[in-house]
Amino acid sequence: MIHTVYKLCNLNFRTMHDPNIESSSCHNKTQPAVSTRPRSELAPVSEKMSSNDDGHFLYFAFGSNLLKRRLQYNNPSATFYLTGRLKDYKLKFGYWGNDVSSSWHGGAATIEYCPGAEIWGVIWTISNRDLLTLDKQEGVSKGMYSPLEVSVETEHGPKHCRTYQMNNFHAGLPSPQYKKVICLGAEENGLPTEYLNKLYSIETNGYSGYPMLTEKKRNQEFMWEKLKTP
């Protein structure tokens, strides 16, 4: 078994209510309706969205897919490209409709339109052959998330990327394990310290069991024991 030691997120940060993460200050603003866009405009990436001539597309991750090993579990072609920020959106956590039986034992990450806010994340290059597995992971066929094309600011200029936004969103706190995966990915890829501190401050639901990925792979090499809450 390969033992990998990760730098763990500080879960003892005092909870803050940051306008870029989980704030309700934008609820009365006009929000683009992602789920009402015609499906012909949403897919496939290889033809219309974020695609490169070499058979790859750009994907902007802001949640658990910040962590390389988590993303590559279902999408082995994923390769780090750049870090960047998505302006006028904030990070939120919750459930799709009434589906509270989350595999992560808590709310999952999504983005919400919020003028003046910003989200930092990682841009990955992914082979078009992994598009279906990425969509499946995000529950696109079930209507859980819709793909969205966004312009992400980077040190090399704006990049047009595919990302995902939850439909029929209902707010809910994430589990400590899910938060930890997000923080580990943010640390791994060198997101700004100020943004890391905002991630550390996210309130959780206090769930104390195993995270989803440990449950699925408990008897195989790919383990997430470091994510189990002490």
HEC sequence for the chain? CCCCCCCCCCCCCCCCCECCECCCCCCCCCCCCHHHCCHHHHCCHHHHCCECCCCEEEEEECCHHHCHHHHHHHCCCCEEEEEEEEEEEEEEEEEECCECCCCCCCCEEEEEEEEEEEEEEEEEEEEHHHHHHHHHHCCCCCCCEEEEEEEEECCCCCEEEEEEEECCEEECCCCHHHHHHHHHHHHHCCCCHHHHHHHHCCCCCCCCCCCHHHHHCCCCCCCCHHHCCC
95 appears as a binding residue in the annotation: no
143 appears as a binding residue in the annotation: no
The two structure tokens encoding residue 110 = 């999504």
| Active-site pick, 22, 138, 149, 221 | 138
The two structure tokens encoding residue 215 = 């449950």
Q: How far apart are CA 214 and CA 180, in angstroms?
A: 14
84 appears as a binding residue in the annotation: no
**Partners of 113 in beta bridges:** 89
**Partners of 58 in beta bridges:** 125
62 appears as a binding residue in the annotation: yes
Task: Determine whether 155 is an active site residue.
Answer: no
89 appears as a binding residue in the annotation: no
Binding site listing for substrate? 59-64, 178
Binding site listing? 59-64, 178
Positions marked active-site = 138
